[in-house]
Amino acid sequence: MSKVRIAQLSCGPEYSGVQKEIDTAAAAVDAEIFFPDLKLADLRQSFDEFGLNVRSPDLKLAIARAKALVEGRVEADAVFIATCFRCAEAAIVRNELRRYIHENSSLPVVSYSFTERTTSGTLLTRMEALTTIARRRALLAREVQQGLTMGIDSGSSTTKAVVMRDNKIIGTGWLPTTAVIESADEAIRRAITEAGVSRDEIEAVGTTGYGRFLVGEHVKANLIQEELTVNSKGAVFLADSQRGPSTVIDIGGMDNKAISVQDGIPGTFTMGGICAGASGRFLEMTSKRLGVDITELGPLAMKGLSRKVPMNSYCIVFGTQSLVNALAAGSSPEDVAAAACHSVAEQVFEQQLQEVDIKEPVIMVGGTSLIQGLVRAMEELLQTKILVPHHAQYIGAVGSALLASGFIKGD
C-alpha cells in the first residue's frame, strides 16, 4: 500500500506552532497529512446542514471537511482531528465530529487536543495506530491464533511474554521493566520454559508496547505494532467478543487507553493521561504507602468506602498528599485504598471516556484490571458491568502472538 492519507480536521495547530510536529509524526509511519480541499462557497452550506452553529470559522471549516469525507466527496484512509487544549468550543466540535465520522463511515479516527508543547513523539503511537488500521485491516481481522507463536509486550512498567499454540496460551512470563532488552529476554525465557518449547520452535514473533522497536529488532520480530490495535485485538480475543461493538479500557503504568472497537478493529480511541495520578503508578504508590503488595490493594479497596476519604489524584503529588493526610487523620487503609481506586477511575472517566462511545461489553485489561477495587470504581462510574478476561495483564502479548500468526510461513 502506498502512503496512508490522513485527513486533518483542525483548528489552531499552525498558530500553536505544532503543525510541523503533526506532519513529522505522520511521516514517521509513512503516512501523509492532507487537508480536504473545499470550495469556499460550499463551506457555509455544509456547516449549516450539520447544524452545530459554532462561531470560529476554522471549526466551521473542520465541520465542512468532515461532511465532505463522510459523503465521499473527498477520499482518505484515516482522519486526525486536532484542536487547542482548553478551548470549549473546539472540544464540542472535536467530540461531535469524531462521533459523526465514526457512525457514518468506516474511517478510523483519532482526536487530540494539543498545546504548544505537543511533540511528534507524543503523536507517534496515535498516527501509527491510524495507519495500522488503514494498512492492515486484513491482518486485524484475524480471529484465530494458529501454529506456535510468541508475543512480547515491552511496557513502561512491566514486560510480558506469552507463547500460544493453536489458539491457546501455553506459557507466560512477567516481570517489572528495568533494562528493556534484558527484561524482554527474561520474560521470554520464563514464557518458553512454562510452555515447554524452545526458542527455535517458535514460528513467528510479535512485539508491542513502548519498547516494541528495540525488542522487535533484538528478537527479529515478524510484527512490530503499537499497543492500541494490538491490545484491542487481545482484549476481544480473550473476552470472546470478536464480533460487534465493545469498549476496551487499559489503565497503564504510564498512560491510559480507551478504545471503541468494532469487530476487533479500533474505530476511535484516546490515549493519554494528564498526570501519573491518573495511572497505575498512583496505585503502586498507594500500595507502597499502605505497606501492602500491589496484588493486595484490590481486595483491600473492596472492603473500604471511597467517599469517606476526599482524594483527587489529578496530580500525583497532591494525590499523595491527600493519601498521607487521610492516614494521619485516622482513615482506615481500606477506605484510603478504595479512595485511591476511585480517584484514578474518576479521572480516566472524566478525561478519556468522554471521548469514546461506551458500548457494551466494556472490557478492562492490563495489570491494573486485576485490582478489583479499581474495576468496581469504574463499574460504579459507568453504571455497567465490566468484563475482565483471563490473562488480562497479558493482553498486549496475547494480541501480538495472535496477530503474529498471520506471518507464519505459507500463511
Partner 1 sequence: MAKVFLYPTTSLILSDLVARFGHTPLSAALQIRERIQTPGLESPPLQITPEGPKKGLRWAAVEVPSGVRGRMSLYGPMIEDAEAAIIINNADYSFGCMGCARTNELINFLIRKKNIPLLDLEYPSNDEEGVEFVAAIKRFLDGLSGEVA
Interaction site with partner 1 (CB under 8 A): 8, 10-20, 35, 37-41, 43-44, 54-59, 61, 83-87, 89-90, 114-117
Name the residue nearer to partner 1 (CB basis): 130 or 184.
130
Name the residue nearer to partner 1 (CB basis): 10 or 229.
10
Evaluated on CA atoms 301, 305, 308, 310, the torsion sign reads positive
Shortest reach from residue 119's CB to partner 1, in Å: 9
Name the residue nearer to partner 1 (CB basis): 79 or 398.
79
Shortest reach from residue 38's CB to partner 1, in Å: 5
Name the residue nearer to partner 1 (CB basis): 39 or 385.
39
CA distance 363 to 235: 7
Backbone torsion region of residue 51, taken as left when φ is above 0, otherwise alpha when ψ lies between -120 and 50, otherwise beta: left
Shortest reach from residue 79's CB to partner 1, in Å: 14
Shortest reach from residue 94's CB to partner 1, in Å: 12
Name the residue nearer to partner 1 (CB basis): 35 or 144.
35
Residue 169 grid coordinates: 496460551
CA distance 86 to 117: 14
For residue 124, the surrounding DSSP H or E stretch is helix 120-135
Of 231, 249, 233, the closest CA to residue 160 belongs to 231
Residue 267 grid coordinates: 474505530
Shortest reach from residue 71's CB to partner 1, in Å: 17
Name the residue nearer to partner 1 (CB basis): 115 or 321.
115
For residue 158, the surrounding DSSP H or E stretch is strand 158-165
Shortest reach from residue 213's CB to partner 1, in Å: 26
Classify burial at 361, counting beta carbons within 10 Å of its beta carbon; exposed 0-12, middle 13-18, buried 19 or more: buried
* Residues β-bridged to residue 208: 153
Give the number of C-alpha atoms closer than 13 A to the C-alpha of residue 55, restricted to the C-beta side.
Answer: 3
258 Cβ contact list (under 8 Å, min separation 6): 247, 248, 249, 250, 269, 270, 271, 348, 352, 353, 355, 356
Name the residue nearer to partner 1 (CB basis): 37 or 200.
37
Shortest reach from residue 107's CB to partner 1, in Å: 19
